Amino acid sequence: MAVHQICVEYVDDEEAGLTVAECGLVRLGRGRDWPWLVRTIGALSDDDILYGHTRWPGLIGPEGVWGTIVLGPYLILCQLYVPASHERELGEQAVLKVDLAGHVDDIYQRIRELGG
């Protein structure tokens, strides 16, 4: 699949005034890892994202497929949207929407919240 650039977005937690991922790190007592996580996600190549994204069966919606990417000691819950080839030709961009950063139990809880 020839995706030339995947746009990375972060889901906001409006109550906390942070991203959901940063809140997850803070809950773990690892808020200081947030800059590292942003740099690491930003340094991922399209292939790293496409092949590192482990899909979760049953969690597919119009905005993409939910899954996880492992980065260091964390699982990153994210949604990956890759448009069909004819949509890419028309300028539609692939998007990785980063939701939660945490450990496996945190991710399972968030998936339950999402209805999976």
Q: What is the pLDDT of residues 46-60, one digit of tens each?
A: 999 999 999 987 778
Q: What separation in angstroms does the CA of 31 have from each of 2, 24, 89, 92, 102? A: 35, 8, 39, 34, 11
**Domains in the chain: ranges and CATH:** 6-114 (3.30.2310.20)
What number is the average pLDDT over the span 95-110?
92
Contact call for residues 8 and 41 (beta carbons, < 8 A): yes
pLDDT per residue as tens digits for the range 73-89: 999 999 999 998 898 88
Please give the pLDDT value at position 21: 96
pLDDT over 50 (residue 106): yes
- Region 3-32 average pLDDT: 92
Mean pLDDT, rounded, for 87-111: 90
3-state helix, strand, coil in the chain (%, to 5): 40, 35, 25
Both structure tokens of 77 = 């819950």
pTM of the model: 0.86
**In the chain, which ranges are continuous DSSP H helix?**
20-27, 34-43, 46-52, 85-89, 104-114
Q: Please say if the pLDDT value at position 11 is more than 70.
A: yes
Per-residue pLDDT at 111: 82
Residue 2's pLDDT is 40
